[in-house]
Structure 1
Amino acid sequence: MVRLMPGKRAKQPKLKKKAGVFDVAREAGVSVATVSRAFNLPDLVSEDVRRRVLATAQNLGYAANPAAKALRSRKTHIVGAAIPTLDYAIFAKMINHFQDSFAQHGYMTIVATTGFEHANVFEKVKTLVDRGAEALLLVGAIEDPALVSYLKQPHIPVVTTYSYLPDEIVPCIGFDNYAATQSAMEYLADLGHRNFAMIAGSPRGSDRQRARIAAYKDFVGSRNLHGAANIIIRNFTIRDGTEAIRAILDKYPETTAVVCNTDVMAFGALSESRRLGIRVPQDISIVGFDDAEYAAQLDPPLTTIAVPAEEMGRLAAEMLHSSLSNGEPPRFVRLDSHLIVRKSACPPRALKQLRLAAAV
């Protein structure tokens, strides 16, 4: 224990002066400009000089100030991503690949969550830019009028993902949500299903939900099937999936196939069906959308639409970095989604019985 004597001050350890760029220059025997070039523009100095400067800096404990460097170059090496939520693994997977790709070039990613309704996201997107984002990744259609107006002016490179929208005001790297849903409907119809229902998220402010709902309605109508209006709108949670399947069983008991617009909803529908004694797929078939990591582990394993989340993140990073590096503008890219057939769907029970009878 240290005791302080009355009338005397404790002796404070003398702080060592932090080395600066002038100290490095003096010790390395070069100019201050050469030290700066060794850190910031290494191609302009010889390898021998660069190594001597860096070794001297390390010995002195000197490190270049990244904030000062950013101010001088007007480069922050920050990129922004505005996504609906981080609760969904499918968005997190895309952002992980986006972030990892940019990190290889020395960039940091700042993420903002906007919710699933895209009609009022401008302030959060603008905050990313105000914090220094040099490029932006968005999700879905640009529907906020203020954001549309902002993006029409040349500011920074921007791409949007998850939807392929050839008429969008910024380049899209995504897939056709309408065609993806139709592929699931085609599969179920080929199995013999005629009575359908859908569990969907709110179409308000979400082009993806609107496209999937439209595909469902159009398919049912074009094939003279049943259930075009049997659409239960809920939020994007497991609990909402459980509530939705109960509503379907109550309102539309003739349903043999349920199309869920997310795997989270399908998870809830599967678990609640089991709790109610409804066998999947023997009594009712259920398909999802996203191919989340857990989809193959459900009981039964979930038939679902696989989304190219990793590819979207990687391509978005590559294009935005090219734009930042050499001015090459991002381009529109349509990626493929595909149906993953597992064990949550089969022919409807009556049709299966007919097939068994015919086989006998």
Structure 2
Amino acid sequence: MHQIPPRKRANLRDVASAAGVSVATVSRVMNAPETVADATRKKVEDAMNSLHWVPSAAARAINSGRTRFVGALVPTLDNAIFARVLASMESRLATHRLSLVVATTGDDPAQEAEKAKGLVDIGAEGLIVSGVTHAPEFYSLIERSQLPAVSTSFYDPGFRLPTIGYDNAAAARTALTHLTDLGHRRIAVVHGPSASNDRTRARISGLEGHSPKPDLSFHEVQLSIAGGCAAGRAILQAAVRPSAVLCLSDVLASGVLFELQRQGVPVPQEISVMGLDDLAGSAHLCPELTTVHLPVSRMGTAAADAIASWVETRKVPEPSLLKSDLVVRASTARTGAIEGQRAAGKARTDSGK
């Protein structure tokens, strides 16, 4: 059988020859097109098209010394918060002509350090990480490579990396204040695993020292809707039922809300439910979830701008605090209103006997 010889793929020199320009000019068209005259750029682009040439990232890196990608290390992709952060981050990096490569860490500092090394090995020009708890190996890698790195989802101006995020403790205090202002004093707090998550620990610490001092009971569960459901069952089985449930994430609040509804407990008529995150779906739950809005999309954009500037100018960015806001919806109510509804319900029941 006659074999068709494989077609040789065009390379950078072929494009330069076809366009009648230098290899350096072709490289500038790829990496900094605004620096090339329009007529010259068009000749190069026409040559690329005629040769069916697709730029190779590896070849570009060899010729320019730049890979033009940033690595992001996040605990999981199974969370709408990180999806929103990454979406805004990738969109913003594109405006800086940078790409994003994502790795997940499972909230494990050792795994994060290993994944970070992998990203550096393939040429990451900067790293974006979550939180402020990292392994010594991670810091050693950053110091040895002199690599730009910023931390998100946390604000700590004294941290060794620039932090771009929100005050987790303040966000939790905002949520608790809303409930105590409504008269709630017996409150169940539902949160995800705290040992491996510094954001959760900060939110828990933000509940300390509140005035007036509420009676808080804590329930640690897996950070999932199923975890929230489990917390809801435990709360309903408690000897003394709280008048409100404060969930330190909207995911958990959704699970609690579903479980209370499954058990026939009306929200907020008998128990108020509060979240923290303001996920896109929280406004469409029934009832709509009261929560604290965390500016995660703005954080992704700000982190992208910061790392891009650092990569290009070698100037370390300043820490950036993004404000969180209370979002009052239908899942919380005053305790007086709840007691009045209970009394009215009891009166109707008694009259029917």
Q: Which runs of 5+ in 2 are unaligned?
A: 345-353
Deviation at 1:37, TM superposition (A): 4.8
Partner of 1:184: 175
Query: Match for 2:86 among 87, 92, 95?
Result: 95
Helix, strand or coil at the partner of 1:231 = strand
Deviation at 1:62, TM superposition (A): 3.5
Deviation at 1:16, TM superposition (A): 4.6
Distance 1:283 1:58, change over 3 A: same
Contact in 2 for aligned 1:302/1:343 (Cα 8 Å)? yes
Q: How does 1:138-287 map to 2 (within 5 A)?
A: 138-153=129-144, 155-219=146-210, 222-227=211-216, 230-287=217-274
Contact in 1 for aligned 2:73/2:130 (Cα 8 Å)? yes
Query: Match for 1:53 among 33, 37, 44?
Result: 44
Distance 1:11 1:88, change over 3 A: same
* In structure 2, C-alpha distance between the alignment counterparts of 1:130 and 1:235, rounded to whole Å: 33
* In structure 2, C-alpha distance between the alignment counterparts of 1:152 and 1:17, rounded to whole Å: 43
Partner of 1:353: 340
* In structure 2, C-alpha distance between the alignment counterparts of 1:147 and 1:55, rounded to whole Å: 45
Question: Deviation per CA, 1:12-71, whole angstroms, max 9, x where unpaired?
Answer: 335554444554444444455554555456566543333223323322334444312202
Distance 1:217 1:197, change over 3 A: farther
Give yes or no for the alignment of 1:327 onto 2:314. Answer: yes
Question: Deviation per CA, 1:86-142, whole angstroms, max 9, x where unpaired?
Answer: 111111001000011112333221111112354652112222222221111111113
Q: How does 1:109-148 map to 2 (within 5 A)?
A: 109-118=100-109, 121-148=112-139
Contact in 2 for aligned 1:85/1:113 (Cα 8 Å)? yes
* In structure 2, C-alpha distance between the alignment counterparts of 1:30 and 1:180, rounded to whole Å: 58
Helix, strand or coil at the partner of 2:273 = strand
Identity percentage of aligned residues: 39
Partner of 1:6: none
- Cα RMSD for the two superposed structures: 2.5
Contact in 1 for aligned 2:268/2:338 (Cα 8 Å)? no
* In structure 1, C-alpha distance between the alignment counterparts of 2:82 and 2:31, rounded to whole Å: 35
* In structure 2, C-alpha distance between the alignment counterparts of 1:240 and 1:205, rounded to whole Å: 16
Range moving further from structure 2, 118-127 or 269-278:
118-127
Give yes or no for the alignment of 1:295 onto 2:282. Answer: yes
Helix, strand or coil at the partner of 1:318 = helix
Distance 1:252 1:115, change over 3 A: farther
* In structure 2, C-alpha distance between the alignment counterparts of 1:35 and 1:158, rounded to whole Å: 31
- Based on CA coordinates, which of the two structures has the bigger radius of gyration? 1
Helix, strand or coil at the partner of 1:147 = helix
Distance 1:57 1:209, change over 3 A: closer
Give yes or no for the alignment of 1:84 onto 2:75. Answer: yes
Distance 1:218 1:146, change over 3 A: farther
* In structure 1, C-alpha distance between the alignment counterparts of 2:23 and 2:145, rounded to whole Å: 37
Contact in 2 for aligned 1:119/1:205 (Cα 8 Å)? no
* In structure 1, C-alpha distance between the alignment counterparts of 2:328 and 2:30, rounded to whole Å: 54
Q: How does 1:32-71 map to 2 (within 5 A)?
A: 32-40=23-31, 42=33, 46-71=37-62
* In structure 1, C-alpha distance between the alignment counterparts of 2:184 and 2:21, rounded to whole Å: 79
Please, what TM-score do these two structures have when normalized by structure 2?
A: 0.89
Residue identity in the other structure for 2:240: P
Contact in 2 for aligned 1:77/1:106 (Cα 8 Å)? yes
Deviation at 1:334, TM superposition (A): 0.5
Range moving further from structure 2, 10-19 or 85-94:
10-19
Residue identity in the other structure for 1:338: D
Contact in 2 for aligned 1:282/1:349 (Cα 8 Å)? no
* In structure 2, C-alpha distance between the alignment counterparts of 1:81 and 1:123, rounded to whole Å: 13
Helix, strand or coil at the partner of 1:290 = coil
Contact in 2 for aligned 1:266/1:287 (Cα 8 Å)? yes
Residue identity in the other structure for 1:247: A
